[in-house]
Amino acid sequence: MNVRILSEEQVRALIELPELLDGLARGFVRLSAGEVVAPGRNQLARDPGFLLCMPGHAPDFDMAVKVVTVYEDNPARGLPVHLATIGLYDPDTGACRAFMDGTYVTAIRTSAAAALSTRLLAREDARTLTVVGTGVQGVHHLQTFPLVRDFTEVRIAGTTPAHAERLAAEHPRARPVDDLEADVRSADVVALATNAPEPVIAPEWVSAGTHVTSVGYRPPGGELPPALAAGASLFVETRRAFEPPPVGCAELRDLDPAEATELGEAIAGDRPSRRTADEITVYKSMGHVVEDSVAAQLAFAAAEARGVGEVVAL
């Protein structure tokens, strides 16, 4: 059995972001159509972190299994908070075909899915973006969001001003936030990209017509104000997001799943996306294995075509 091994550096070079955005759109449509088999992720808790296992299979793809760990103390050890690996398995034989780094995949597919929601739901004339978060997701949001709207101004907010200044320096139209409330109130798109255990903005700061994205996962709380999710037009990857963690999102636990729209439903035209210019839309990410599957399959196909990676006989 030959297995292609791909490093983080190789995976990063193999995934083209425009292809990833389009692949995610197709994946979400398949997910909403019931074509993706994906058991709920399970969690192994170990002080001071936890491990999540996420298996899934989409039509015409290999079976995928991502294992991701979240250890909050890792930065002191010189490691990312989130670490992950992904295995791809032949759906006909069960043989492992590829094993790759999943840390970059997790980061880029998360920000790309949020950017995809922005492509679908933000007003066409959206020109101002406020990103709350300067960590890994803040970095990747700055790469993916400009692909879907021509933002003339990007504001970066973080708990450490120096980190916001450093991240803002990576984009010619970005600046550190002067006043978080004011820069949220005047934004067309607000992207929450933190690891915060409690809301990082107030619902009343969000102006009519704004699109808000939230990708943070920190049960038993989270960065998104539940009142904002309850009062807006809410979009999710799947309604399983309303289940208790580790399957779903803590911020949605008291809301009615029937009131939300899945991204795949909106992309397919089965349910409305943005209906009016004044509507507030919110995308809350739970993180779904179909996103990992799409990204990993793109990387594997490109590696096969280019002969990238080490092939190991097991």
Of the chain, the percentage scoring pLDDT greater than 70 comes to 100
Cα angle value 300/21/18 (rounded, 5°): 80
Using CB atoms within 10 A of its CB, is residue 18 exposed (0-12), middle (13-18) or buried (19+)? Answer: exposed
Range(s) for CATH 3.30.1780.10 in the chain? Answer: 2-105+290-313
Can you give the pLDDT at residue 146? 97
Tokens of residue 41, six digits = 């992720």
What is the fold of 109-287? Rossmann fold (3.40.50)
What is the band of 312 on the pLDDT scale with cuts at 50, 70, 90? very high
What is the band of 207 on the pLDDT scale with cuts at 50, 70, 90? very high
Distance of alpha carbon 134 from alpha carbon 142, whole angstroms: 10
Per DSSP, the chain holds a count of helices (H) and strands (E) of 9, 15
Q: Does domain 2-105+290-313 have CATH number 3.40.640.10?
A: no
What is the band of 220 on the pLDDT scale with cuts at 50, 70, 90? very high
Q: What is the pLDDT of residues 67-89, one digit of tens each?
A: 999 998 999 999 989 999 999 99
pTM of structure: 0.95
Distance from CA of residue 160 to its chain's centroid?
23
Range(s) for CATH 3.40.50.720 in the chain? Answer: 109-287
DSSP 3-state assignment of 51? strand
